[in-house]
Structure 1
Amino acid sequence: MASNKILDMADWRQDIPPGTFSKPDLYCMEGPPEKEVVMSGMPPQSEDAVSSYGAGRAKVGNSNGLCNIVVIAFLAAILSFPPAHAQNINASVSGTVKDPSGAVIPSAEVSLKSLATGAVFKITTNESGLFRFPNLQAGAYELTVSAKGFRDFVQRGISLSINDTVTINVPLEVGQANQAIEVTADASPLNSENAELKQAITPDTLRELPLIVGGLPRSAISFVVLMPGVTTGAGANTYDTRINGGMGSGDEAVLDGISIQDGLNTQTGAALVFGNSPFSPEAISEVSVLTSNVEPQYGSTSSGVVTAVTKAGSNEFHGSLFEFLRNTSLNARQFGIPQRPKDIENDFGGTIGGPVRLPGAWTAKGKLYFFISHERFRVRGGASTPVLSIPSVKERNGDFSDWVGSDGKVIPVYDPATTRPNPNFDPSATSGPASLPFLRDQFMGCDGKSPNVICQSDPRFQSSLAAQWFKFLPQPTFGGALNNYVVPVPVGAGIFNDSNLWDIRIDYNYGDKDHFFGSHHSRRSFAPAATQLPPQLAQEQPYQTNWTVMPRVGWDHTFSATLLNHVAFGYNDTYAESFCIDKQYAGDMPKIGGVADHNNPPVVYFSDFNGWGCNNEFRGARPTYVVNNLMTKVRGRHIFKFGGEYRKLGINRVDRFNGSGSFGFSRLSTGLIGTTSGNAVASLILGLVDNASGQFNTVEAWYARADAWSLHFGDSWRATSKLSVNWGLRWDVSRPAVEKYDRTSFFDFGPNPGAGNRAGRLAFAGDKWGAASFGARHPEETWFRGFAPRLALAYSLSQRTVARAGYGIIFTQAYYPGWNGGVALDGFNAGQSFSSSQGGLEPAFLLSNGLPQNFVRPPFIDSSFRNGQGLRYRPFDANRLPYSQQWNLTLEHQFTDSFYISASYVANKGTRMLSRVAPLNALDPKYLGMGQQLYDEFQPGQTTLDGVPVPYDGWVGQMTGCAPTVAQALLPYPQYCSSLFGQNENAGNSTFHSLQLKADTPSPSC
């Protein structure tokens, strides 16, 4: 039995009885290399999980035990954290106290009261008459200023949002203290402190704007797309969110002061929150988007920062219940489909929060508050009914007379056994109906008079494996060859079909110097096991387990009126287990030879038709640990901030995919080059595989690791009563991704022993793999020059007009697109691919013969292992981090106490952005003049073709993943079939300019 540990991966469970699926603690960060996990047998299934397509649901076990330990450990460990960079989400209130003559008043007593909790913060003005309250939670406050010989000043209606920098200049009048001056108007919404552009979605907005229930749980982050500078592209897809021209998934997202980074996954920022962590509007106090010229404490973004803060309890008890319903009867009918699609969605839950008035938790000095939100989302069906293309009954029997084009004419299906060169073909002419390089005879049935009919006495038809799939196909809903089957019940898309969301927060105020908080966000989703086609042919792969956890703890401590500290620690993780629904029918499906196993049915996919099969199972976690600290020092007219942050990132994953193979069928196998012809289903019946792949694993469990750290310093200088100057410097370092035990490989420029020592080989990380070793754990060089200066000016032209300008450089993190964190297991594992030749006319192999065995199975720790295939390329300079230069010029004017307009010129220039523009293995354009000769194929034994020599001895036989064409021989690295695009290539550049206008009426005071 595995033992649970927080920082070290538990031992794998070794005794896995058949029919079970082990659940080691993948969400921790470590794991032993010598004990590989072998996933065997069937995952647990509910009785009705796949009993009928269109219905059913998979059972899920409980694996939250360690999460509870993690949360408790975090709450207990906060007292041990020393001041260490914080993504500070707290607001601040500052100002200057003056007498009627305009002279500053030092040593004035200033107090700020939270209307939610009653907590009072007290300071005195310095020798310049300045005061500042940093590290404030968003909410409503009341300010009181008193000084000997002057009337007290009381400012009500102070409403703070995330990261607000509110300035309240206080004019005291001579008089008695009990003759107070009360100001009830809202504090000025103008920012006269810095050049930061920020858009806040206040609690009132979250409460009042509608959020529809549309296949997903409601999310407070959905409002981000309403902000100036935020776009979602032509498709209005929230997953494509970009801020001020930045990269997709290139922004940063923060919950309660901690980054929501998803391990070493590519998804970050708003796209990650939309796709993985919906935050209930009932649980979120406020959402804010910082879009330009942020302070040095912020980084890891190519554009902006999305911040969210969970709701906290107050002095009064508050609760709510809610239900949102979407029903089938409210849906419209689709064109051509008589019945409405089944679509029943329920989003319901409740909240409660308030004080904990218990002995020990509520004392004269200490006050404890709590807030709990629970939301459930359930969906059956979907908003639209899919219409699929499946082989017609005729086609399943070899009759393709219904295979017609848009003009109603039959599309010919040809017999590949009759393939012959066209004696009249002109190689200098473009291939087309009048210039065909090859000829074939059309199928004409047993009687020789039935076009497009394969005779059922044809031995190829009689021995076909296709019937073993066809027998599970449903009857078409409509006539015709395409778009002929209406799915009975829509299958909900996404991972949130059935979800439970919990948000829990506690706050503890100890005196007026310490504030502690702990919050925990969790999402647990259960995907119903519904399928579009019968379960034997299902492509669906629901999550048996899928959950996300985000615990956070923080501590704000006031050392003195001029020295404060904020420290926070957080953990993000998403854990998932997923199996194919068709897995239990593997015994009923064809078992193709030459593959690694037959634990799943093979995948079959076609041109023009919907495919069958899934052939995948995995489980994994994406843990992230973050600790940050921000210290604030007030000295005269300066406010200094300094701190740092450390992130430990990982992916822990067990993969078992494509073990039974994937097989593709195309038109060309039964068609002709240069003319509309052929049918992919006919190619399946004849067993003509156009392309195929199979996975062969010796390592199934792997652990990607990376870390990043930053240091920063900033100074906010109130140079004059009208001018504020902000400057600072941030330093970012990201260490390239590694595999914990160096079981990863990648392209290297060294000599390839299996390719005549040509440049370009497969290198293995570290130095324990003999001659194949790379000598370092990662190909990229760690880059230490990520220095990012920031400068901003804010000038009050009048009490109602402010001009602001700023410039800054921001580095984003290292990116590894995909779901593997930069880790490739070539040599330990192998994904072998096969493809057709002669432009698609010659199949890769016959299905009945199985995968060709003309390759070396892993493990094979050799630099020539991927010859004739593709491999991973990570550019050596890719760890030189992408960065953006941001600048803006903003003019704000307040027309009334409740209305102001802001006009901003905003620019963002991206450099070294994530790209896909510089393949290593591209054909030199000078060879394009060879035309069709580039597609000519070398035959075994040939040393030259069309004047081009064979690259090296044995090259033709190595080319199993692509055809040995003249074009392939002319590539810089002809031993590889891939273009060798850098996985983490960052050679892109971008430029963004905009004019952003905003008219705003601040929310009324609480």
Structure 2
Amino acid sequence: MKSFKWFSLAILLSMCSFAAWGQSTATLTGTVTDPSGAVVPSAQVKVHSLATGIDRVIHTDSDGIYVVPSLEPGDYSVQATVSGFSNYTVQKVTLDVSQTVTVNMHLAVSSAGETIEVESTSQQIETQTMTVGQVIDRKTVQEIPLNGRHFLDLTVLTPGGVVAPTSGSLTAPSRGLGANSFITAGNREDSVNFQINGVNLNDISQNQITFQPSISTTSEFKINNSTFSAEFGRSDGSIVTVATRSGTNQFHGEVFDFFRNEALDARNYFNRNFNPTTGLPIVGLPGEKAPLKRNNFGGSVGGPIWKDKTFFYASYEGLRQHQGILQNSTVLTPTQQATIAANAALFPAAAALAKLIPLPNSGNNYVAFTPGPVSIDQYTGDVLQQFSSNDSLHGFYAFQKDVRTEPALQGDTIPGWGDHRAAHRQILTLNETHIFNPNFVNEARLGFNRISIAFNPANLTDPTSVGLGDGLMGNVGLPQTTLSDIGLVFGGPSGFPQGRNDTLGLISDTATLLRGKHTLKFGGEFRRYLSASFAGNIGTLTFVSTPNNFEMDNATVFSVQPNISSSRVYDGALGAFFQDNFKFTQRLTLEYGLRFEWNGTPVEGENRFVLFNPNGNGGPTLTRVGTNGLAANSAYKQSYSYEPRLGFAYDIFGTSKTVVRGGYAYLVDQPASNTVTGLAANPPFSTSVSYNGAAIPVSSLYASAKAAGVAISSINPNFKDAYIESFNLNVQQALPGGIVTSLGYYGSVGRHLRIATNENQATGPAGSPHLYQTLSANSPIDPGVTIASNISEVNSIGSSNYNALWLVFSKNMHHGLELNMNYEWAKSMDINSLGSQGGLSAAGGAPQDSNNPSGNYGLSDFDVRHHFAGTAIYALPFKGNRLVSGYQLSTIVQYQTGNPVNITAGSSSFNGLTGPIRPNQVGHVSTHKSQTGITNVTFIPQSNVCPIGPTLAVPSGCSLQIQATQAAGSSTIVYTGIGNMQRNGVTGPGFADVDLSGQKETKLFRNVMFTLRADAFDILNHPNFGQPSGNTQSSTFGQISATRFATSDGGSSRQLQISGKFTF
């Protein structure tokens, strides 16, 4: 395989170009005809940039067709000139990023020098390509209400986009930073390829966006989410292409500040100042608003350095956010504290830990708003150099520094814990466009992106100072400690400290060759990754009973990684493609291509991958790569693929008004590097242990847990790259008034999707031995050592399917009004939904039975049956002096049905299964919202759950039958079987939101304008609830205790923002 890799590399390096990872430029095409409709060959077509003054000149071919590729997004004029006819000029054509625009020109017989001028043309119908996507233009990016000013939040405006579920990982918004990915067209959150100016902006560790570029520096962006052409690769989900702003021949700039605080916001639904049941006022902290002070400020400037030759654009944007995070928890009562203090000599650990727990200040609870500050600084610079009419260079660099504190991380319920995190993020793009002749254009790219980030516990108490024998010493922090009977969580956070330095370098190129009716594109790309990471785990500690366990220094659950594991994972990828856009007739365009993709196997720089082999010498073994006959750094087989693309666009009447399109694409995904990083944390480089059983003294936690066995991570040696087959058939119709509609079917099937399974599932009922109990005596590492119960194995046996109808309506700005609306009716199903973020847990999507993963098949976590999104921008038609003119309103309206809820039976003790098992569904599960006290809303009534008794319950008026028995007077539930209920079998609450913005633009002098703006997010103050608990054995089953992402930039309550902006 190595020889194949280098052979492929040699072939591609010998080519004249390397494959571009998608394009950030645009293409202009069309046909020139005479008054009779006959084509006009050899007509001169001049394309003039209205921003930079740069011209491109080409001539039509024998069929009267012209194609001008590799144009920077922006506004252009187009002129056709031929002897004996009038000149035909289109004064303004807008080219959007990664778009092919058709401008047909019809000449008239006239005397020399006469010109026919058309004011402007706007192209929204795709007549030349099978790629399905939508451009979010600069006006939309800048002027519609956008809470947090994160451009990825606009992805819900594209067909196929949905509001992400609360169970998401990369899609969950980080405070101040926004989400790291999004959901569209039934694809997983880690299957998106982000790029700026054609250079990849993904964090290879998790396949998320490295950072979101400032709205001020974003010119526009396009999302392709179905059947993209062969020039696009790397990901099997969607492609996001961001075009950055460049300077022009005119100096322009802006200075702005966006301000929010709690005084302008409505209360969150669960942060009430009165009891909704009694109507009485609430006194004290629960009735106070969460503190918030947020300033988002910055400025930019751009213009010419050398007129018509050199242009620059630079920007800065900062964020200072001071937010109080509500923490509310039952704590030890003063009586309990006194009892613990009196017994300090007998139980010193309890006495020391109790001192870290505050006394109640609201009944039996402690309630406080803990500071969670966020600070972000982002700098960008852009230079465009026109060396000659045939050669230009575009450079862009961005750097971001962000610091954040998360006081309630991993569920900490009292102040003083959580983590601090700091990051540096950057990207560099260099794009060179060279026109060898009007029919041969080359785009070369060079770039890198990098993230350096560290997460550290906020509290670094030495565990030995409080009497814990957890295997750690020094100022490292306490394990995340849970008193489960009262719901108190403090310490940690578990899984920390950790950090990584991820770097991507790439070289890529696309060549465009015009040959008659064929527009040929071909090229290749080489990428190289380095992910250097470290990870520790200060662990978890659980006391199931406060009086019997916590007060007596006895714990029942414990885990820890006593040392820091490190890895340097290298990976590479090589690609090549050929694409032909064939103008078969004036009405029919065929598009076909083939992409070759080689994704290398991740390797570790010091051979620290340790592989688990269940069939080793004499039994299960652990072997370090590069030893005992294993190939150096070999974790799984490298793979390559051939990815065909095929589609058509048919202009039914030849008027560019009614177009039918269809396409098919085979799309392969490159796995994230965290697929293998766990292998470097196996023994001997890390000795993670875990314990779950009878109570053990906290003074000897590590010794007791180590005896229970070592934890092992594994990967299937036959792991394969995931792929999606995407297909669609749609029709577009242009209507008068700049209106375009589209209706189509869109579908996909996914195979070899990533999923975590338990390689060491028990062989029988609860208490039965696991399949592998000890390592072989011949194991090169830890011979004869006991194996912990579960072994998490990364597999590629997941599958998915998606079917949808999309309806799109858009209206260009006309008479001051612009509209964009889309509706989706869809169904998405899979075996698991989280991909690279999923582990051996129900939340991670692990199957309840690893011997039967297909039994997990059900609705995707992000499935949404109906989704509607619409935007409107309306410039009020008031004319006159500064006081009455310059008003504008804009809005976003969204509605969607709910995401699925997974109903579980609580325990995983039956048959040694990994995750919680599901019950039998014996009737319709009723759902309705009703208030339950101050802090909860009931969505799934408890009456749905059949009671558990000495014998299997006979359903009577209930719908969820737990296959279990419970003896009278006993608290122990004995599970007897797996239920028939499908995963994600109930639909949760829906989502509805209306955002409104109003602004007044006033001319101060010359070209200096001031804009005063007010934004109202969730203006109707409609609460959008999170998901209810799906655990039938929990006291909170069916209850909702929070709104969607209540502490993020888009909390589920009305929020107001005031801003001011100077522009020139």
TM-score between the two structures when normalised by the length of structure 1: 0.72
Are residues 560 and 316 of structure 1, via their aligned partners in 2, closer, same or farther at CA, if it must alter by over 3 Å? same
Are residues 975 and 600 of structure 1, via their aligned partners in 2, closer, same or farther at CA, if it must alter by over 3 Å? closer
Which letter maps to 1:777? Answer: N
State the shift of 1:591 in Å. Answer: 4.9
Q: Secondary structure at the match of 1:397?
A: helix
- 1:22 is matched with none
Which letter maps to 1:736? Answer: T
- 1:355 is matched with 304
Conserved? CA contact 1:622–1:651, under 8 Å = yes
Q: Secondary structure at the match of 1:313?
A: coil
State the shift of 1:347 in Å. Answer: 0.5
What's the CA shift string for 1:879-917, capped at 9, x where partnerless? 3x211111111111111251111112111111112223x
Distance 2:399 2:773 in 1: 57
Conserved? CA contact 2:366–2:414, under 8 Å = no
What's the CA shift string for 1:326-349, capped at 9, x where partnerless? 113223452242332211111011
Are residues 853 and 172 of structure 1, via their aligned partners in 2, closer, same or farther at CA, if it must alter by over 3 Å? same
Distance 1:257 1:681 in 2: 61
Give runs of aligned pairs for residues 704-723 of structure 1, distance below 5 A: 704-723=569-588
What's the CA shift string for 1:569-615, capped at 9, x where partnerless? 111111123432322x4389325346243232321411221122447
Conserved? CA contact 2:504–2:528, under 8 Å = yes
Given the alignment of the two structures, is residue 393 of structure 1 paired with residue 321 of structure 2, yes or no?
Answer: no
Conserved? CA contact 1:689–1:836, under 8 Å = no
- 2:1013 is matched with none
Are residues 631 and 288 of structure 1, via their aligned partners in 2, closer, same or farther at CA, if it must alter by over 3 Å? same
Distance 1:521 1:563 in 2: 31
Q: CA RMSD in A?
A: 3.2
With CA pairs under 8 Å and 6+ residues apart, which has the higher RCO, 1 or 2?
Answer: 1
Give runs of aligned pairs for residues 408-557 of structure 1, distance below 5 A: 462-480=346-364, 484-492=365-373, 497-527=374-404, 538-543=416-421, 545-557=422-434
Which letter maps to 2:263? Answer: S
Give runs of aligned pairs for residues 576-725 of structure 1, distance below 5 A: 576-583=453-460, 585-586=461-462, 589-593=465-469, 595-606=471-482, 607=484, 608-614=487-493, 616-658=496-538, 662-667=539-544, 679-680=545-546, 682-697=548-563, 700-725=565-590
Conserved? CA contact 1:779–1:874, under 8 Å = yes
Distance 1:534 1:303 in 2: 35
Distance 2:815 2:449 in 1: 35
Give runs of aligned pairs for residues 81-100 of structure 1, distance below 5 A: 83-86=17-20, 87-100=22-35
- 1:222 is matched with 153
Q: Secondary structure at the match of 1:248?
A: coil
Conserved? CA contact 1:81–1:567, under 8 Å = no
Q: 1:811 aligns with which of 659, 665, 668?
A: 668
Distance 1:279 1:591 in 2: 47
Conserved? CA contact 2:27–2:67, under 8 Å = yes
State the shift of 1:1005 in Å. Answer: 12
Conserved? CA contact 1:573–1:622, under 8 Å = yes
TM-score between the two structures when normalised by the length of structure 2: 0.68
Q: 1:379 aligns with which of 305, 313, 321?
A: 321
Q: 1:266 aligns with which of 188, 203, 206?
A: 206
Q: Secondary structure at the match of 1:935?
A: coil
- 2:923 is matched with none
Give runs of aligned pairs for residues 265-414 of structure 1, distance below 5 A: 265-268=205-208, 272=209, 276-333=210-267, 334-335=271-272, 336=282, 337-357=286-306, 362=307, 367-382=309-324, 385-398=326-339
Conserved? CA contact 1:569–1:628, under 8 Å = yes
- 1:200 is matched with 135
Distance 1:663 1:811 in 2: 38
Distance 1:691 1:302 in 2: 40
State the shift of 1:727 in Å. Answer: 0.4
Q: Secondary structure at the match of 2:246?
A: coil
What's the CA shift string for 1:418-459, capped at 9, x where partnerless? xxxxxxxxxxxxxxxxxxxxxxxxxxxxxxxxxxxxxx877x
Conserved? CA contact 2:136–2:222, under 8 Å = yes
- 2:659 is matched with 802
Are residues 397 and 154 of structure 1, via their aligned partners in 2, closer, same or farther at CA, if it must alter by over 3 Å? same
Are residues 203 and 594 of structure 1, via their aligned partners in 2, closer, same or farther at CA, if it must alter by over 3 Å? closer
State the shift of 1:649 in Å. Answer: 1.5
Conserved? CA contact 1:746–1:824, under 8 Å = no
Which letter maps to 1:828? Answer: P
Distance 2:457 2:480 in 1: 14
State the shift of 1:810 in Å. Answer: 0.9
Q: Secondary structure at the match of 1:173?
A: coil
Distance 2:464 2:233 in 1: 54
Conserved? CA contact 2:649–2:659, under 8 Å = no
What's the CA shift string for 1:660-679, capped at 9, x where partnerless? xx352232xxxxxxxxxxx2
Q: Secondary structure at the match of 2:462?
A: helix
Distance 1:902 1:179 in 2: 39
Conserved? CA contact 2:519–2:581, under 8 Å = yes
Distance 2:505 2:551 in 1: 53
Are residues 1005 and 127 of structure 1, via their aligned partners in 2, closer, same or farther at CA, if it must alter by over 3 Å? farther
- 2:964 is matched with none
Matched positions, count:
767
Given the alignment of the two structures, is residue 886 of structure 1 paired with residue 886 of structure 2, yes or no?
Answer: no
Conserved? CA contact 1:538–1:613, under 8 Å = no
What's the CA shift string for 1:353-374, capped at 9, x where partnerless? 11114xxxx5xxx611111111
Structure 1 stretches of 4+ moved >6 Å: 529-537, 950-956
- 2:192 is matched with 251
Give runs of aligned pairs for residues 839-918 of structure 1, distance below 5 A: 842-843=694-695, 845-852=696-703, 868-879=709-720, 881-916=721-756, 918=757
What's the CA shift string for 1:527-556, capped at 9, x where partnerless? 35978999998322212x411101111101
- 1:935 is matched with 767
Given the alignment of the two structures, is residue 731 of structure 1 paired with residue 596 of structure 2, yes or no?
Answer: yes
Distance 1:594 1:96 in 2: 75
Are residues 588 and 324 of structure 1, via their aligned partners in 2, closer, same or farther at CA, if it must alter by over 3 Å? farther
State the shift of 1:685 in Å. Answer: 2.0
Are residues 245 and 619 of structure 1, via their aligned partners in 2, closer, same or farther at CA, if it must alter by over 3 Å? closer
What's the CA shift string for 1:836-870, capped at 9, x where partnerless? 43xxxx22x311235217859xxxxxxxxxx9333
Q: 2:54 aligns with which of 119, 133, 147?
A: 119
Gap runs ≥5 in structure 1: 1-79, 400-455, 668-678, 857-866, 929-933, 939-949, 962-972
State the shift of 1:778 in Å. Answer: 1.9
Distance 1:298 1:529 in 2: 37
Conserved? CA contact 1:461–1:686, under 8 Å = no
Distance 2:541 2:128 in 1: 62
Which letter maps to 1:846? Answer: P
- 2:633 is matched with 777
What's the CA shift string for 1:39-72, capped at 9, x where partnerless? xxxxxxxxxxxxxxxxxxxxxxxxxxxxxxxxxx
Q: Secondary structure at the match of 1:221?
A: helix
Distance 1:470 1:457 in 2: 12
- 2:625 is matched with 765
Distance 1:885 1:248 in 2: 17
Distance 1:912 1:278 in 2: 30
State the shift of 1:305 in Å. Answer: 0.8
Distance 2:688 2:489 in 1: 24
Are residues 290 and 179 of structure 1, via their aligned partners in 2, closer, same or farther at CA, if it must alter by over 3 Å? same
Which letter maps to 1:179? Answer: E
